[in-house]
A and B are shown apart, each in its own frame.
Chain A
Amino acid sequence: MAAGPLGFNSYLGRKPVVLTFLTALATVLFLIVSGISHIYTAQQQSLAARWSGRGASDLKAQHFIDAVADFRTALLYNRDNYSYQLSLAQALLGLRRTDEAYAYLINLWDRQPENGVVNLELARIAAGKGDTWRALRFYHNAIYATWPGDEEAESRNAHFELIEYLLGIHADTQAQAELIAIDANLSEASPLQEQLGKLFLKAQDNQHAFAAFHRALREKRHDGPALAGAGMAAYGLGHYLAARRYLDEALQISPDDQQSAEWLRRTESVLTLDPYQPQVRAAERDRMAIQGFTVAGSRLKSCAATGEAAAIEGLRKNWADLKSQISPGALRRDPDLFNQTMNLTFSIERQTSRICGPGSDDDQALLLIAGQHEEN
């Protein structure tokens, strides 16, 4: 350098030396920029962490607007961070901005199709939009996806959510299939047996529901909800005595359980009105038939009062004709009269139910008895 500009230029004019000099200069600059880059990256990461921390707090407190702003800011500093994007999508879902959330989630899904949280959120969005095909696809993905933390529990929760969704869209058969799949993998002592039983009950699979509640009760004999569920399942299976026993017990544990009380009333009705029960004495049977016939007559009256008299005129006439013939002695003497009485009772209940809507507990009980009698 002391040689002045001309000397320096002539020095640089030697090409290998120039290239060596440029390489050295590039290395020095590279190191300097690396240092600057280190400072920059550290600052960006710190800002990203700070804003995402705020976002997480806001998300937890369900302050979704703030959470969205926080996570957006965090993403300014760490654009491709997976968890920030996922949290942002969840905050957007909290604000019901599903289209925006979907855009983020589908992008995350592209990056990690095996992520359980993303699949579950996508399934919920699809379910909300009524896109059953996509909802089922993402729910199934979520069930078999990878989850942070307790993978088995998260996967099972996703499975339960899928079943709830299926029940919501009245796909009971599919729901039953999914429930049987869970049932097969659930230990008998699992505290989830009660939940499983309830879902079976919703899916109208009383057999499996009763079994699940029964397993739950083996673990916890005085579990009110499990007793109530077992009672309902037994009722559905036509095991009215067992149903009464379970429901009674449930009400003893939870006297304020209105639902169990309601089911118990129905059960009592059935037990009072069902002349086909085994081990019922003849006198009792005839009394039940006459009581059922009387309930059907009351039903005809109440239905006629609603303005539907013309539609049930024929039934009223038949009922009145038969009424004069039946008595406990006549029924005992003439088995055909007993059958005729029960058939007319069932016919009245069915038709009035179609014309005038559901009737009293006794009417419901008679309909149930009719159904079971025909099945047998």
Chain B
Amino acid sequence: MSALRSMFREDRYFLMISVFIGIFSGLFVVCFRYAIDWSRIYLLGTGAMPSRTRLLLAPALTGLVISVLVIHLFPRAKGSGVNQTKAALYIFNGYIPLRTALGKFITSALAIGSGQSLGPEDPSLQIGASLASAIGRRLNLSRDRMRLIAPVGAAAGLAAAFNAPISAVLFVIEEVIGRWTAGILGSVVLSAVSSVVVTRWFLGSESLFRIPVVELQRPSELIAYAVLGIIGGLASVAFASGIEHLRPRCAKMLPWTHYLQPAIAGLLIGAIGAMGAPQVMGAGYNYMDEAMHGRFTWQFLAILALLKIVATLLSFVSGTPGGMFAPTLFIGAMLGAAVGGAEHALLPHLGWSPGTYALVGMGVLFAGFLRVPMTSVFMVLEVSGNYSIILPVIVANTFAYLISRTLMPTAIFDVLSRQDGMELPSMEEQREENILRIEDAMQEPPKNILDAGDTVEKALRAAEGSQDEVLLVRLRPSGWSCIGLSALRALGQAGKGEQTLDSVAAGEAIPLLHPDLPLDMALRYFDRWPLIPVVSRANLRELDGVIAERDVLERYRDFAGE
């Protein structure tokens, strides 16, 4: 019985629930993928190159239907879904209505299938989070667990859509949760893995792309990848700035225009397709695959990257539901292969493989536009399954990330949150935060340190020569306590001068602090101990300093002034 009880302990139970969340998310994402394909077949036809009439009419008319659905039935389905999931975690205690998942499923499938330049990953993330939230509510999970359950579902949804569990877990940690927390990691990983297993069961285990041979022939080629990082960083800033400026303008337009915005976006994207670039329509994974295998000239690849930025801007700022993962990958792949091709044309001796440049380009846009540097590296590794590409990826991504951060300090998802009136935590801000630590406020160790074996009289003699109101007492065999000068005097006047300190004032040992701990930790103890010893982690009897409430407050005051 106790074994059964142990098995169903709260944390283990939550892990089991996470597996089910993964399974359900995987099943829904499989259906979502089918729905997108069916929607494409019925709206654009079965051919790879739809007729011009279909190209112009299908996205425009479907845009009208989508806007009606979003405005009247599924208002929360608007946008990519990443920020909404994050808001559920930080604002709504993990609550995402199941209706949102349904709305996202229908409207995104229609939008992507009709050729809007959006992808299925972010909606899958939101669908997963929404399912998880519904399961959590049904199971009456605690508020803490409910808050955690949305990211668990998000990881499952994203992993299923992307067929890449590691990238999904990292993305959820970097972007949705926004901080490293060990407590949720197990659940997130379990749900991601179980959803990928389900997806692979139905959709096969092939990766998104047929990865060509990837190799770095000479270390000097890293310079070429650095150039790609710089160009990718600039493109990311242009793309993100476009969204930053156009999205609020579209949102502020007269309410009746909101019915037309997705339709107009669809019409314009259809026009781009009809004019000879149907590759920019939809998620475009097959064209990324073709770019990797050298199907396009570098000039055409550059044009496709530019047109995809325009098309995605149109789709996204018009409020059409759909994700930005796939367009980001598309732009990155085309830009990467274009830059690689151009470099090869200028310097023919340079080793050149469109597949390698396209893959690195994907990572570059991930790092520069979505600003998820860890995910960007692991995503490329996971998709390519080739670790020899890691060096070019890290070099290029670092350049892209630094350029993007310098030119556009706020990451795109934070920009979107603020435009929606929300202030959500972000790992990028956390990285930039200057955290105050104990070592920033602690004082030198006092000269007079009493020993628990000292008599009260000896302690009084030692204290008379000191300015300190509170004296530290070293306990035996280890630990620290403190005693006020007035209390010591009172003991002397009470005739206890011959007695030892531990016999007359055996106070509770003070919790130890270490120099690297956050400064706010010290505040927890000042109501009971006026002076806290700061000791080395290597030797608990070695006093590095002491800290009092006044020191902490002064440091915070100085910090605010800085």
A interface residues, Cβ below 8 angstroms from B: 9, 12-13, 15-16, 18-19, 22-23, 25-26, 29-30, 33-34, 36-37, 40, 43-44, 47, 50-51, 69, 72-73, 75-76, 79-80, 99-100, 102-104, 106-107, 110
Q: How far is the CA of A102 from the CA of B293 in the complex (A)?
A: 9
Q: How far is the CA of A104 from the CA of B31 in the complex (A)?
A: 30
Chain A residues with Cβ below 8 Å from B210 are 79-80, 107
Q: Is B13 an interface residue (CB 8 A)?
A: yes
Q: How far is the CA of A103 from the CA of B292 in the complex (A)?
A: 9
Q: Do B293 and A72 touch across chains, with their CB atoms under 8 A apart?
A: no
Chain A residues with Cβ below 8 Å from B41 are 43, 47
Q: How far is the CA of A107 from the CA of B436 in the complex (A)?
A: 55
Most buried by B among A9, A12, A15, A106: A15
Given A13-B140, A26-B24, A30-B27, A19 contacting B48 (CB threshold 8 A): no
Q: Is B385 an interface residue (CB 8 A)?
A: no
Q: Which residue of A lies closest to B354 (CB)?
A: A103
Q: Which residue of A lies closest to B211 (CB)?
A: A107
Q: How far is the CA of A101 from the CA of B212 in the complex (A)?
A: 14
15 A-B pairs whose Cβ atoms sit less than 8 Å apart in the complex:
A12-B138, A13-B140, A16-B8, A22-B20, A26-B23, A30-B27, A37-B202, A47-B41, A73-B46, A73-B48, A75-B286, A76-B48, A80-B206, A100-B293, A100-B295
Chain B residues with Cβ below 8 Å from A51 are 46-47
The 5 closest A-B pairs by CB, nearest first: A103-B293, A73-B48, A15-B8, A22-B20, A103-B294
Chain B residues with Cβ below 8 Å from A99 are 294
The digit string for B500-521, where 1 denotes a CB below 8 A from any CB of A, is 0000000000000000000000
Q: Is B347 an interface residue (CB 8 A)?
A: no
Q: Which residue of B lies closest to A16 (CB)?
A: B8
Q: How far is the CA of A26 from the CA of B156 in the complex (A)?
A: 15
Q: How far is the CA of A102 from the CA of B34 in the complex (A)?
A: 32
A210 to chain B, nearest CB (A): 48
B204 to chain A, nearest CB (A): 8
Q: Do A73 and B47 touch across chains, with their CB atoms under 8 A apart?
A: yes
Q: How far is the CA of A105 from the CA of B359 in the complex (A)?
A: 20
Q: Do B294 and A76 touch across chains, with their CB atoms under 8 A apart?
A: no
Q: Do B31 and A33 touch across chains, with their CB atoms under 8 A apart?
A: yes
Q: Which of B1-41 contact A (CB under 8 A)?
A: 4, 8, 13, 16-17, 20, 23-24, 27, 30-31, 34, 37-38, 41
Q: Is B346 an interface residue (CB 8 A)?
A: no
Chain A residues with Cβ below 8 Å from B13 are 15
Contact of B139 among A12, A79, A104, A107 (CB under 8 A): A12
Contact of B31 among A36, A102, A103, A106 (CB under 8 A): A36
Q: How far is the CA of A103 from the CA of B337 in the complex (A)?
A: 14
A252 to chain B, nearest CB (A): 57
Given A19-B16, A40-B34, A107 contacting B293 (CB threshold 8 A): yes
Chain B residues with Cβ below 8 Å from A80 are 206, 210
A91 to chain B, nearest CB (A): 13
Q: Which residue of A lies closest to B289 (CB)?
A: A79
B36 to chain A, nearest CB (A): 11
Given contacts A22-B20, A26-B23, 14 further A-B contacts (CB under 8 A): A12-B139, A19-B20, A25-B24, A26-B27, A30-B27, A37-B202, A40-B38, A73-B46, A76-B48, A79-B286, A103-B293, A104-B293, A107-B210, A107-B212
Q: How far is the CA of A157 from the CA of B187 in the complex (A)?
A: 60
Q: How far is the CA of A76 from the CA of B212 in the complex (A)?
A: 19
Q: Which of B30-61 contact A (CB under 8 A)?
A: 30-31, 34, 37-38, 41, 46-49
Q: Do A79 and B206 touch across chains, with their CB atoms under 8 A apart?
A: yes
A89 to chain B, nearest CB (A): 11
Q: How far is the CA of A80 from the CA of B210 in the complex (A)?
A: 9
Interface residue tally for chain B (C-beta within 8 Å): 33
Q: How far is the CA of A50 from the CA of B31 in the complex (A)?
A: 24
Q: Do A100 and B27 touch across chains, with their CB atoms under 8 A apart?
A: no
Chain A residues with Cβ below 8 Å from B17 are 22
Q: Which of B273-331 contact A (CB under 8 A)?
A: 286, 293-295
Q: Which residue of A lies closest to B9 (CB)?
A: A15
Q: Do A69 and B47 touch across chains, with their CB atoms under 8 A apart?
A: yes
Q: How far is the CA of A103 from the CA of B210 in the complex (A)?
A: 11
Q: Do B139 and A18 touch across chains, with their CB atoms under 8 A apart?
A: yes
Q: How far is the CA of A100 from the CA of B287 in the complex (A)?
A: 13
Q: Which residue of B lies closest to A76 (CB)?
A: B48
Chain A residues with Cβ below 8 Å from B294 are 99-100, 102-103
Q: Do A29 and B139 touch across chains, with their CB atoms under 8 A apart?
A: no
Q: Which residue of B lies closest to A48 (CB)?
A: B46
Chain B interface mostly:
helix
Q: Do A103 and B295 touch across chains, with their CB atoms under 8 A apart?
A: yes
B2 to chain A, nearest CB (A): 15
Q: Which residue of A lies closest to B47 (CB)?
A: A73
Q: Which residue of B lies closest to A77 (CB)?
A: B46
Q: Which residue of A lies closest to B4 (CB)?
A: A16
Contact of A69 among B4, B34, B49, B198 (CB under 8 A): B49
The digit string for B65-104, where 1 denotes a CB below 8 A from any CB of A, is 0000000000000000000000000000000000000000
Chain A residues with Cβ below 8 Å from B31 are 33, 36
Most buried by A among B13, B30, B210, B212: B210
Q: How far is the CA of A307 from the CA of B267 in the complex (A)?
A: 77
Q: Do A36 and B34 touch across chains, with their CB atoms under 8 A apart?
A: yes
Q: How far is the CA of A221 from the CA of B23 in the complex (A)?
A: 77
Chain A residues with Cβ below 8 Å from B23 are 26, 30
Q: How far is the CA of A73 from the CA of B44 in the complex (A)?
A: 13
Q: Which residue of A lies closest to B26 (CB)?
A: A33
Q: Which residue of A lies closest to B206 (CB)?
A: A80
Chain A residues with Cβ below 8 Å from B46 are 47, 50-51, 73
Q: Do A33 and B27 touch across chains, with their CB atoms under 8 A apart?
A: yes
Q: How far is the CA of A193 from the CA of B46 in the complex (A)?
A: 51
Q: How far is the CA of A73 from the CA of B45 in the complex (A)?
A: 11
B136 to chain A, nearest CB (A): 12
Most buried by B among A12, A18, A69: A18
Q: How far is the CA of A25 from the CA of B34 in the complex (A)?
A: 21
Q: Which residue of B lies closest to A32 (CB)?
A: B27
Q: How far is the CA of A277 from the CA of B477 in the complex (A)?
A: 124
The digit string for B411-425, where 1 denotes a CB below 8 A from any CB of A, is 000000000000000
Q: How far is the CA of A23 from the CA of B20 in the complex (A)?
A: 8
Q: Do B37 and A40 touch across chains, with their CB atoms under 8 A apart?
A: yes
Q: Do A9 and B47 touch across chains, with their CB atoms under 8 A apart?
A: no
Q: How far is the CA of A216 from the CA of B139 in the complex (A)?
A: 87
A65 to chain B, nearest CB (A): 11
Chain B residues with Cβ below 8 Å from A50 are 46
Chain B residues with Cβ below 8 Å from A75 are 286
Q: Do A103 and B286 touch across chains, with their CB atoms under 8 A apart?
A: no
Q: Which residue of A lies closest to B46 (CB)?
A: A47
Q: Which residue of B lies closest to A100 (CB)?
A: B295
Q: How far is the CA of A34 from the CA of B202 in the complex (A)?
A: 8
Q: Which residue of B lies closest to A73 (CB)?
A: B48
Q: How far is the CA of A36 from the CA of B203 in the complex (A)?
A: 12
Chain A residues with Cβ below 8 Å from B140 are 9, 12-13
Q: Do A33 and B30 touch across chains, with their CB atoms under 8 A apart?
A: yes
Q: How far is the CA of A102 from the CA of B210 in the complex (A)?
A: 14
Chain B residues with Cβ below 8 Å from A9 are 138, 140
Q: How far is the CA of A79 from the CA of B293 in the complex (A)?
A: 14
Q: Which of B116-147 contact A (CB under 8 A)?
A: 135, 138-140
Q: Do A33 and B202 touch across chains, with their CB atoms under 8 A apart?
A: yes
Chain A residues with Cβ below 8 Å from B16 are 19
Chain A residues with Cβ below 8 Å from B30 are 33, 37
B541 to chain A, nearest CB (A): 47
Contact of B20 among A15, A26, A33 (CB under 8 A): A26
Chain A residues with Cβ below 8 Å from B20 are 19, 22-23, 26
Contact of B34 among A18, A37, A73 (CB under 8 A): A37
Q: How far is the CA of A17 from the CA of B202 in the complex (A)?
A: 28
Q: Do A72 and B48 touch across chains, with their CB atoms under 8 A apart?
A: yes
The digit string for B196-207, where 1 denotes a CB below 8 A from any CB of A, is 001000100010
Chain A residues with Cβ below 8 Å from B38 are 40
Chain A residues with Cβ below 8 Å from B139 are 12-13, 18
Q: How far is the CA of A104 from the CA of B289 in the complex (A)?
A: 11
The digit string for B211-222, where 1 denotes a CB below 8 A from any CB of A, is 011000000000
